[in-house]
Chain A
Amino acid sequence: MQQSAIVADYLDALAHELRFDLELARRVRSEVEDHLMEAIADGPTNDAADEARRAITRFGRPRDIARQYAPLSLLRQVRQVGAVLVVAIAAIFVLMKGRGVLYEFLQWRLHTDWLGIDAAGPMIDIYAFRAALIAGVLGWFYIASRRAAPSLHAGVQSELRRCLVLPMAASVLLVGAVGLDTILGALRLLDVRLSPAAVIPVASIAVEAALVVAIAVLMRRTFQRAALAASLVTEQKTR
């Protein structure tokens, strides 16, 4: 087997173990390739294939290396979730306030008593949003206070799960608040004649919905990444 094929096989194995984070896998692959090529060139013998095998042995097993990258990658992903959540909450707050001002200005009031929503709806909406705000900000502080562990183990996984509890709660509350906002907005618009001004609340609710969808997608990606990384620990235990 030629030196380039030996190195390529090793890099493929490493990239496969790092499949929980494709961007990281690409970067690590390039770095490790450079490392191995330099180690082969520095080797004492002229047998490049033998030097390649030696360099790979010195470098370590792909799974062991991937296990050291996993906490870094997961923490970065969780931090991203926290940051997006806080930004989304702030944006939704501005949009909600702006809509409130517009409704007041245009005198678009809720005139329906459908399931008592005219009285309870705005109240539930405000409390759900406030709870989401508190959970999101506390979650962000907790995430920001975490440091990446040197290797992935059960303790790190528990900590990452804890990191996601508050953002999860904030997301659910935010979905509730935006959902209720959509219903209340629709009820207001039903009572008024269609005008160009109606585009503003519709657009702002659409932006809120898009933000909530973005958070859900990011959450899903985080759980997928965590599940893939967890297999590195599970397979270690069963071995």
Chain B
Amino acid sequence: MLKGHLDMIVLAALSDGPAHGYAVIQEIRRRSGGEFNMPEGTIYPALHRLEQSGFLSSRWAASETGRQRRVYSLTRSGRRALTDQRAVWKRFTDAIGGMFGETSHATVSHSR
């Protein structure tokens, strides 16, 4: 399930500002309370894929240690995609919540 939402997770992790791959992984771990603990290597192809799709832009920057690192940031279309996916996800979780009796039908209908 996590695999199908990896792109959305990566976009969300970058919503606070530009970051390099390692920081994105740390942010995902922090925001998910350690629940999303995928192989770290899977994040980098996702970053490249999102960049190729125009959702992210990237540039080389020097780290504090002087090493070159690739820093990624959301583009305008990446922000739009994140907003859209967030709305879809909200509808989905509301609907599932409704199925389990956690959300009233009115809330589910209202959020549509």
Do A and B pair up? The answer is yes
CB neighbours of A58 from chain B (8 A): 39-40
| 0 or 1 for each of B29-42: is its CB under 8 Å from A? (1 = yes) | 00000000001111
Contact B22 A38 (CB under 8 A): yes
B79 in contact (CB, < 8 A):
no
CA distance A197 to B63 in the complex (A): 60
Report Cα–Cα, A58/B52, bound state, in Å.
25
Count class of interface residues, chain B: 20 to 34
Residues of B within 8 A of A147 (CB): 53
Given the interface contacts A72-B48, A150-B6, does A65 sit within 8 Å of B42 by beta carbon? Answer: yes
B49 engages A150 (CB within 8 Å):
yes
Q: Assess the B22–A35 pair: CB atoms within 8 A.
A: yes
**B63 surroundings in chain A (CB, below 8 A):** 34, 38
- A122–chain B nearest beta-carbon distance, Å: 43
Q: Are B67 and A60 in contact (CB under 8 A)?
A: no
Closest to B4 in A: A150
Task: Spot the interface stretch: A23-31, A97-105, A113-121, A123-131.
Answer: A23-31
| B59 located at the interface, meaning its Cβ lies under 8 Å from any Cβ of chain A in the complex | no
Specify the chain B residue showing the minimal Cβ separation from A70: B45
Q: Does B91 contact A (CB under 8 A)?
A: no
Chain B 27-78 residues near chain A, CB threshold 8 A: 39-42, 44-46, 48-49, 52-53, 63, 65, 67-70
**Could you tell me which residues of chain A, from 1 to 56, have a CB within 8 Å of some CB in chain B?**
27-28, 30-35, 37-39
A62 to chain B, nearest CB (A): 8
B21 within 8 A of A: yes
Closest beta carbon of chain B to A166's beta carbon, Å: 21
Residues of A within 8 A of B25 (CB): 35
- B-contact 0/1 string along A54-74, CB 8 Å cutoff: 000011100011001100100
Cβ–Cβ contact A34 & B68, under 8 A: yes
B20 touches A65 (CB 8 A): no
Nearest A residue (CB) for B68: A30
Question: CB-CB < 8 A to A39: which residues of B?
Answer: 22, 40
Question: B3 interface residue, CB < 8 Å from A?
Answer: yes
Q: Is A76 an interface residue (CB 8 A)?
A: yes
Residue numbers of A with Cβ under 8 A of B are 27-28, 30-35, 37-39, 58-60, 64-65, 68-69, 72, 75-76, 147-148, 150
List residues of B whose CB falls within 8 A of some A CB: 3, 6, 20-22, 25, 39-42, 44-46, 48-49, 52-53, 63, 65, 67-70
In the A-B complex, the 9 residue pairs with the smallest Cβ-Cβ separation, listed nearest first, are A60-B41, A60-B39, A68-B45, A65-B41, A59-B41, A34-B69, A38-B22, A35-B22, A59-B40
